Amino acid sequence: MLFVLSLVEGISIHAILFRELFDFAMLTTLMIGALLLPARAIYDQVLRGRRRIRRLLILGPTPLAWKLLKEIESHPDFAGTIVGLVHDTPAMFVLGVHHPWLGPVDQLGQILDQTRPDRIIVAVPPDSRLPITDLLEARLRGVLIEDGVRVYETLTRKLAIESLTPNHLIFLRNFRISRFQMILRRALSLSAAAIGLLLSAPLMGAIALWIKLDSEGPVLFIQERVGLMGRTFRLLKFRTMLTANGTTSEWVQDNGDRITRVGKWLRKFRLDELPQFVNVLLGDMDFIGPRPHPVSNYRLFVVVFRNTPDCGESIPYYALRSVIRPGITGWAQIRYGYANSIEEEIEKMRYDLYYIKHLSFWFDLWILLNTVKITLLGRGSEAQDVRRAASPVRSRA
């Protein structure tokens, strides 16, 4: 009996101690929360105030300046911050620009005294003379001076290739791809391709049978594409179109009437790309990278269009695409999709160069995960049609 009473008493004491410890822990948690929440709110306000620069001035009449205007206006952190533009050609001040022309470049000092901007974005042509003295004085007063090319890259996650100079590329450390990065990148590609090939083998067999039952012609579509350092290889895809008699256009929009019923679904879920696992294992491609262009399109971009007087070079710095292996998927594919014209290929090139500049294992992994998401949701050519309707320049791989 005494043993039982001692046991009950001991349990009671432990229960009381446990309840007191629990109450103390809860009280401590509430006190910490009461202190941290206001501190976090204050920190967020301070940080947001530092990020959101209230008064912004753009220097330069270039196409990059107009692109920056549109991007800044649509970016939440920059909403309502532009005080105006400074450049020497007010005639270029087109309708639709809702910000004032403040004056020519040689009056920059006076303009800065009047407008008191917190930030100046320089978007002048590469061969222009900058008002160095005025910019240095502004910098000493605490005004942030930024290169328009870099601001555009930060806002859009792509490069303003028309505004790049050789100096931008030659002296940038980011374009130097280390051997370790290439080994890690190749390991990721081989692993993803091997796993993908094993898991999709039954599905690929079913797709092959489906294609044969749906229309006449081979199961696979084999095409010469341009790969690493301009070398050609034979790319494998499931056939999604009726066999053509003679030469045809490479643009998707020119071949819509040839897409088969099965091909429509394969394209929607990007299942026509599955045989390219073999290309990755053979060393022709990596899993992530710029899409390989057909040889005919490559010649168009590099030879024919480059010799057009009105357009100058076809796609600026186009050769940089081939410094790495092409990929099944890539930054341009998940951000843009298909392209159906030279202008859209140029737009995709902006994303390709951004990817090459920021290439890393984690960037590849992020693209891979987003590709899986896009494939499962079936965002294919129909989604690109919606985007194209919303924008004059959009969407091919």
How high is the pLDDT of residue 78? 66
Nearest Cα residue to 65 out of 49, 96, 87, 33: 87
How high is the pLDDT of residue 198? 95
- pLDDT for residue 96 is more than 60: no
CB 124 within 8 A of CB 316: no
Confidence of residue 250 (pLDDT cuts 50, 70, 90): low
How high is the pLDDT of residue 332? 92
Question: Mean pLDDT, to the nearest integer, of 305-324?
Answer: 63
Tokens of 130: 């900058």
Rg of the chain over CA atoms, in angstroms?
29
Q: How far apart are the first and last CA of the chain?
A: 84
- pLDDT for residue 269 is more than 60: yes
Instruction: Give dist(CA 203, CA 272) in Å, integer.
Output: 11
Question: Mean pLDDT, to the nearest integer, of 96-115?
Answer: 82
Instruction: Give dist(CA 328, CA 62) in Å, integer.
Output: 35
Nearest Cα residue to 346 out of 159, 204, 176: 159
Q: What confidence tens digit (pLDDT) does each residue in 185-240 have?
A: 899 899 999 999 999 999 999 999 999 998 888 999 999 999 998 899 999 999 99
How high is the pLDDT of residue 307? 43
- Report the predicted TM-score, pTM, of the whole model to 2 decimal places: 0.73
361 against 13, higher pLDDT? 361
Tokens of 318: 């186009």
Share above pLDDT 70 across residues of the chain, in percent, rounded to a whole number: 69
Q: What confidence tens digit (pLDDT) does each residue in 30-41 have?
A: 565 566 556 555
CB 355 within 8 A of CB 332: yes
Q: Regarding the domain with residue range 56-156, which homologous superfamily does it belong to in the CATH classification?
A: NAD(P)-binding Rossmann-like Domain (3.40.50.720)
Taking the CA atoms of 369, 372, 377 and 383 in sequence, report the sign of the dihedral they define. Answer: positive
- Per-domain boundaries in the chain: 56-156, 179-390
